[in-house]
Amino acid sequence: MPDPTPPPAPPTATPTAPPTPPVPLAALLAREDLGLRQLAGPDAGAAGTAVQWVHTSEMADPYPYLLGGELLLTAGVHITDPSDAADDYLDAYVSRIVAAGGAALGFGVAPVHDTVPRALAEACDRHGLPLVEVPRRTTFSGVARAVWRLMAEARHAELRRVTEAQQGLATAAARTDPVPAVLRQLASRLGGMAVLYGPDGTDGTELQTAGRTGERARSALRELTGVVRRAAPAAPASAADTVGATHLAAYALGGGRGFALGVATDRREPGDHTIAGAAVVLLSLLTGEHQGTSEAARSAALVRLLLGEPAHTVGALLGTDLWTVVHAHGEHTTPLSASALATALGTALVDPDANPVRLLVPADRELTPLEGWTLGASAPASPAGLAAADTQAARALRRAEGTRTPLVRQHANTVADLIAPEEATAHARVLLSPLSGNETLTSTLRTWLSLHGSWDRTAVALGVHRNTVRQRITRCTTLLNTDLNDPDVRMELWFALSRAQ
């Protein structure tokens, strides 16, 4: 018989719950095709026992191989002594499964044992581990397949719930009272309370509340949102806690204005964080700096520009003397994602429908790379110089895409700035006229020059074979009737490409 007291395994960290909702053990027991029967341990339905995965093992000590949450299946090959002497061994065996976080033990009554050992059932009762009998007709692979199928159904239902919740939040944000509407929708979808807290200096004032919860949980939620609001300037912050049976979550809203969202629920589902995240994005946009008097000032500036007033005379209404023009390409660009980008960059001046997205950012704002976006930024410019800055941003974005760099800044006072824009554009059109109408060749030449003539890097950037790049560059050489190995030629072509519209 194996040693009844195997050496302890090193402690392991608490496992992270999988993205798929766990399967209630009671749902498995209810399946007539499996014929499973609980023999010992707490009632699976009353205790809410959940299975996160299935593991089969005949090891005398399965502890090192368990992650937690498993339905452990065994045929009892390691149980070689059916006498009462096995009591201590089985007690140690069950205690190790419980210590590893196992959800339940499934015992197959064939082919090794005709019945479940009495001592095993008693040990499971002592340690509070559900013991399930797997009949002869049911294979372990059949049990595992049933668990995966139930998980897939639960995952599908959770994704549908999240999708419907996101659609409901988006609809609420389009109402005439968007902030309370979003909070009501969020509270309804999560089955709890949602609170919007005011910015720094308001002492955690509850600006809007939807749903109800106990005063103790409300007080704890206020403290939790205070923590994330103080941490938000360094990075987007969120935190979670529990008070009794109530789950708390707090999220700092984007825009750097100190608003925070608090959520209190009686239960916590896998998709709740995703639903709350959608609400955070919407509330960040709704509470951003573009609301209120600053929006009115910008509208006044735009009206004056449309009526013909010079740009330098309306600069003060825009709130700053110098601006940075930013052009941006995203992996999945939508008006909502463009608005979220504007919030992340600290501006409300964005053209979300443009391709690329174009933004005006105060020059004193620090630009940093953002995941999922490629950015090209101009040098700081006054309102009168925004047209030239727009050209700089477009050039910087092309450079960023050609070099696969998330952010490229264009510096002021380059040699190109010494040439009148109209003269530079006219020269570019004449020089590149042999390539006119062939965007494929023009784009390939631009990328190849930006990558210093590297065939491999250009092929990767364009997503084509290196031989295709060689063929296109050879064609460009022929059409332009020039030597692309000459650095002076390359410099002139690069200047022309940066000026060609």
Q: What does the DSSP assignment read for 354-365?
A: SSSEEEEEETTS
Burial of 324 (0-12, 13-18, 19+ CB in 10 A): buried
Q: pLDDT tens digit string along 42-78?
A: 998 888 889 988 999 999 999 998 989 999 999 999 8
**201 found inside a domain:** yes
Query: How far is residue 395's CA from residue 355's CA, in Å, rounded to a whole number?
Result: 14
Q: Could you tell me the CATH number of the domain that includes residue 58?
A: 3.40.1390.20
Q: Is 228 left (phi over 0), alpha (psi -120 to 50) or beta?
A: alpha
φ/ψ of residue 498, rounded to 5: -75, -20
| Structure token pair of residue 186 | 């969020």
Closest CA to 29 of 117, 147, 128: 147
Q: So what's the pLDDT on residue 9?
A: 42
Predicted confidence at residue 296, as pLDDT, reads: 59
d(CA 394, CA 359): 12
Does the residue 15 lie in any domain?
no
CATH number of the CATH domain containing 435: 1.10.10.2840
Burial 399-436 (b: 16+ CB within 10 A, else e): bbbbeeeebbbbeeeeebeeeeeeebbebbeebbeebe
What is the model's pLDDT at position 16? 37
| 129 and 218, same domain (yes or no) | no
Residues 129 and 183 in one domain: no
Q: How many residues does the chain have?
A: 501
Domain end, chosen from 138, 172, 188, is at 138
Note the helical H segments in 287-380. 293-306, 311-314, 335-345
Q: Given its phi and psi angles, is residue 108 left (phi above 0), alpha (psi -120 to 50 degrees) or beta?
A: beta
- CATH number (domain holding residue 269): 3.30.450.40
β partners of residue 377: 326, 409
Query: What is the total count of domains within the chain?
Result: 4
Single out the residue in 138, 170, 201 at which a domain terminates: 138
Q: Could you give the CA distance from residue 164 to residue 376 in angstroms, rounded to a whole number?
A: 36
Instruction: Single out the residue of 152, 147, 182, 145 nearest to residue 167, CA to CA.
Output: 182
- Domain membership flag for residue 6: no
In a domain, 31, yes or no: yes
Per-residue pLDDT tens listing for the chain (501 residues)? 444 444 444 343 333 333 567 889 999 999 999 999 999 999 988 888 899 889 999 999 999 989 899 999 999 998 887 565 578 889 999 999 999 999 999 999 988 888 999 999 999 999 999 999 999 999 999 999 999 998 888 888 888 888 898 888 888 888 766 888 888 899 989 988 998 887 654 445 566 677 677 788 888 888 888 888 776 554 557 888 888 888 899 888 876 667 888 899 988 887 888 888 888 888 888 776 544 445 556 666 666 666 666 666 666 556 566 888 999 988 767 665 677 788 778 787 888 777 888 888 888 888 888 877 899 998 888 777 787 788 888 878 887 887 788 888 876 555 555 455 666 677 777 888 888 878 888 889 888 888 888 898 888 888 889 899 999 999 898 888 888 888 888 888 877 877 665
Q: Report the distance separating Cα 392 and Cα 327, nearest Å.
A: 9
CA angle 386, 389, 393 (to 5 degrees): 135
pLDDT at 5: 47
**263 in the same domain as 165:** yes
Q: What is the pTM of this model?
A: 0.46
In a domain, 153, yes or no: no
CA gap 62, 88 in Å, rounded:
16
CA dihedral (497, 498, 500, 501) positive or negative: positive
Same domain for 237 and 130, yes or no, is no
First to last CA, the chain: 83
69 and 97 housed in the same domain: yes
| Helical ranges in 323-420 per DSSP H | 335-345, 386-403
Do 134 and 169 sit in the same domain of this protein?
no
Cβ–Cβ < 8 Å for 89, 182 = no
How much is the pLDDT for 232?
55
Task: Give per-residue burial for 261-298: e unless 16+ CB within 10 Å, then b.
Answer: bbbbbeebbbbbebbbebbbbbbbbbbbbbeeeeeeeb
Residue 53: closest CA among 12, 97, 23: 23
- Is residue 448 within 8 A of residue 457, CB to CB? The reply is no
Same domain, 332 and 401: yes
Give the Cα separation of 229 and 218 in Å (integer).
Answer: 16
Residue 462 domain boundaries: 421-499
For residue 98, CA distances in Å to 26, 65, 101 come to: 19, 13, 5
Q: Among 395, 413, 431, where does a domain finish? A: 413
Decide if 171 is inside a domain: yes
DSSP code of residue 436:
T
Mark whether 454 and 393 lie in a shared domain.
no
Half-sphere exposure of 314 (CA within 13 A, CB side): 16
Show the beta-strand stretches assigned E in 58-112.
70-74, 104-108
Is the omega angle on the peptide bond into residue 111 within 30 degrees of 0, that is, cis?
yes
The phi and psi torsions of 291 (rounded to 5 degrees) equal: -85, 150
Q: Are residues 396 and 462 in the same domain?
A: no
pLDDT at 54: 93
Query: Is 144 among the domain residues?
Result: no
48 domain residue, yes or no? yes
- Give the single-character DSSP code of 327: E
Same domain? For 322 and 267 the reply is: no
Residues 102 and 166 in one domain: no
Identify the residue whose tokens are 């109209």: 422
Q: Are residues 112 and 37 in the same domain?
A: yes
